[in-house]
Amino acid sequence: MLLAKACMGSNPIPDDFMKNEFAVSKVAPSDVVRVSSLVKDIIPELKIYSKEARDTFVSELSYENLKKEVRNKYSVFLAAKIGKEIVGFLIGHFYGSVLWLDWVAVKDTMRRRGIATEIIKNVEDRAMKVKAHKIWCDSRSNNTPSINLLRSRGFRRAAILKNHWFGQDFFIWEKHLLS
């Protein structure tokens, strides 16, 4: 599920961020515990999903399952870091020269600062290097920040799924990379 909850808030901007010292890279085995902690912070607060969905997502993105993602040769598992702090992540999977994005998430206090955009740009570059011809993903139909992010990166809405996962409505998005 692609997500990006809108939250300007009154959180101060860390000095490191002002120096643009955040980087997107592959998740290392030593990062998994911090990504797992971030999952537990982010997902329960995403009210666009039902409680059942949030509970399921936290379970699916458990520490043990995330460790498997690091070792899965078909997975793309990226983290955005400011210093050693992980402030966002992406999980996706390649299959048949197509990349499916399962999750893009950014820490609540770090949203609306371009981090999700950089994560998406990074995965697009990686996908093109391995000659993927398309990226696709889903978003809740009412997740305006995700919709805006995807549109800004050139994704187009390919389908509407009514009363789908957990009885909620979703959009399917796609972006063609190679002609």
Q: What is the mean pLDDT of each run of 10 residues along the chain (179 residues)?
A: 39 49 92 96 92 94 96 96 94 95 94 94 95 96 96 98 95 91
- What pLDDT digit, counting tens, does each position of 38-84 carry? 999 999 999 999 999 999 999 999 999 999 999 999 999 999 999 88
Per-residue confidence (pLDDT) for residue 22, from 0 to 100:
82
As a whole number of angstroms, the distance between CA 177 and CA 47 comes to 32
- Give the predicted TM-score (pTM) of the model: 0.86
**Which distant-in-sequence residues (6+ apart) come within 8 Å of 77 by Cβ?**
26, 27, 66, 69, 70, 89, 90, 91, 92
Q: What is the spatial distance between Cα 143 and Cα 43, in angstroms, rounded to a whole number?
A: 14
Does the domain formed by 15-135 have CATH 3.40.190.10?
no
Q: Which pLDDT belongs to residue 178?
A: 77
**pLDDT > 70: percent of the chain:** 88
pLDDT value, residue 179: 57
**What confidence score (pLDDT) does residue 6 get?**
34
In 3D space, the residue among 146, 137, 100, 122 whose CA is nearest the CA of residue 22 turns out to be 122
